[in-house]
Amino acid sequence: MNVTFYGAVREVTGSMHLISSHSDRVLLDCGMFQGRRKESNLKNSVLPFDPEMLTNVVLSHGHIDHSGRIPLLVKNNFKGHIICTRPTMDACEFLLLDSAHIQESDAQYLNYKTLRSNLYGLKSFDGSKPSSKRRMNEIKKLLKKDMHALNTDVINQLIAKYRLEFIEPLYTVEDAEQSLSAFEGYPYREPVTVGRDMTCTFYEAGHILGSAMCMIKVRENGRLFRIIYTGDIGRFDRPIIRDPNTLFPEEDRDIDLMIMESTYGTRHHGPIDDLKERVKQVIIETVNRGGSIVIPAFAFGRTQELVYVLHELYDDNEVPKIPVYVDSPLAMKLTKVFGEHPEVYDRQTHETFLANAKNPFSFSHLEFVQSVEASMALMQKEDSHIVIASSGMCEAGRILHHLRYKVHNPKNTILIVGYMAENTLGRRIRDLGWEYEKSGRVGPPPMLKFLNKSYPLCARVVRLRGFSAHADQTEMLRFLKMSNLNISQIAVVHGEDHESTGFTEKLREEGYDAFIPHMGEPFQIR
């Protein structure tokens, strides 16, 4: 029996691992690569196997770096099922449709830019040589329906006419909708048949709503193999969802291979107990300066946790009660998914909110922003407020426009509460802002380029590691040592090279047989 590691090997995104037995081929996750546009597009567009050969897919959770290529799989004739927990199935309904919309919008915009540049180099429509400004206005009038919307019919026709390169989206909204019919949701701790001789049982991973460790049992040549895929391991003692599971059935304790993440394999987060106090401190300091707080946050998981913490602070009258805006239609939909699954909440959430007939994700100073017009008005708001917007790594979405209005003002704070992958705007903000703060803010501020313009990073940049949904090194070791598992080997994945390498060395020091797999190379379980 073999496991082939096709994604998130010595990098964080693109999780995808294939279990192959004599009778079955089951894929663990089908995630999207994220980072530099050209490099990511190339990786995402090519599947390293024929989707028709797959029996089923087991999905650990809904984050796009784990689920984002499922529509591409279905588009390419995958005929099996997507097996996951019920909350993950419900969340993917919105996450994958949103991803498809982004794929279509990005492709349309790139086609627009290609055509615009080509037309600008041609003679005027009447044969004259107009001024640059007049020429550009002619082209915009032709290619746009109004000030914002692209006239895709005209753009597509002209690209074909001039035989220009046409950019296809990775997949469409229609493809995503079709993929949703392949999903099947199951509760934790219920064995599910995923192949002729293969079952999967989900256990809480503590990462986000519905996230699961996947216990795969395979019978081959009269022997029972056990593989446990951790997916992304969450932190202990965080609010809302239960801690990572450490108690497994006695008959399933002996594990032939654990596939384990290493996002923060060498790092150590701050204590969770300090989290509310740090958020409180940031709010008070920013309001005292007369500024606002901009928080880039993933629509799924991080946004809801922020709302939860702010709700507690406001209920306890510990901070100035400035308005809180969640500027993300997707986050609003996913917050409803959170509200529909109280069965996976931890005891603290039940005692703090549900027992008092309160919704953890709603309070009087909180407003969800839906329309573009309301979002644009919010961007220009001068009174102190908090805005939570996606995308979490500042690569797209409404957060870019909030940054455009807020980044130049030293009264404001950009609060970094999540992981920022290499080569993303979020990573540049984090790193440049941190260096500027460490220097005492001496000299000219660093410059950030986004939305085709450069902006001075004058706003304060604060990093809160306690919000991370990923366990750090100490917590991952805590999971291993608290669990009742006997593990033969650990394959270390889902971490940048230095994190995976450092964590592997630490595991070996602790007596585990750990290794970092090679991309695309089959690993035989004996």
Average pLDDT across the chain, whole number: 93
Is residue 60 domain-shared with residue 192, that is, in the same domain? Answer: yes
Is residue 404 domain-shared with residue 474, that is, in the same domain? Answer: no
36 three-class SS: coil
Least confident of 99-113, 317-331, 341-355: 99-113
Phi, psi of 519 (to 5 degrees): -60, 125
Q: Is 90 exceeded by the pLDDT of residue 52?
A: yes
pLDDT value at residue 146: 73
Confidence of residue 267 (pLDDT cuts 50, 70, 90): very high
> What's the one-letter identity of residue 490?
I
Residues making up the chain, counted from first to last: 526
Is residue 348 domain-shared with residue 425, that is, in the same domain? Answer: yes
In a domain, 453, yes or no: yes
Is residue 305 domain-shared with residue 435, that is, in the same domain? Answer: yes
Is residue 353 domain-shared with residue 454, that is, in the same domain? Answer: yes
0.85 exceeded by the pTM?
A: yes
Is residue 223 domain-shared with residue 151, that is, in the same domain? Answer: no
The predicted model gives 455-470 an average pLDDT of 91
**Last residue within a domain, chosen from 130, 161, 192:** 161
CB neighbours of residue 452 within 10 Å: 5
Look at the chain and report how many structural domains it folds into.
3
As beta bridge partners, residue 26 has 19, 56
pLDDT value at residue 220: 94
In a domain, 174, yes or no: no
Q: Is 60 exceeded by the pLDDT of residue 330?
A: yes
Tokens linked to 339: 């509200």
pLDDT value at residue 36: 72
Q: Is 90 exceeded by the pLDDT of residue 255?
A: yes
Q: Residue 340 sits in a domain of what CATH number?
A: 3.40.50.10890
The predicted model gives 320-346 an average pLDDT of 96
Sheet with 293-296, edge to edge strand ranges: 366-369, 324-327, 386-389, 293-296, 413-416, 460-463
Q: pLDDT tens digits, residue range 418-462? A: 888 788 899 999 999 999 999 999 999 999 999 889 999 999 999
Q: Would strands 293-296 and 413-416 be described as parallel, antiparallel, or unpaired?
A: parallel
In a domain, 202, yes or no: yes
Q: pLDDT tens digits, residue range 85-137? A: 999 999 999 999 999 998 998 899 889 989 988 888 765 545 555 557 777 88
The predicted model gives 242-263 an average pLDDT of 97
For residue 515, the enclosing domain spans 2-93+182-267+469-524
Q: Is 80 exceeded by the pLDDT of residue 155?
A: yes
Q: Residue 230 sits in a domain of what CATH number?
A: 3.60.15.10
Is residue 374 domain-shared with residue 245, that is, in the same domain? Answer: no
In a domain, 177, yes or no: no
pLDDT value at residue 37: 74
Is residue 452 domain-shared with residue 505, that is, in the same domain? Answer: no
In a domain, 8, yes or no: yes
Determine contact, residues 392/330, Cβ cutoff 8 Å.
Answer: no
In a domain, 176, yes or no: no
Is residue 58 domain-shared with residue 18, that is, in the same domain? Answer: yes
Least confident of 128-142, 331-345, 493-507: 128-142
Is residue 150 domain-shared with residue 137, that is, in the same domain? Answer: yes
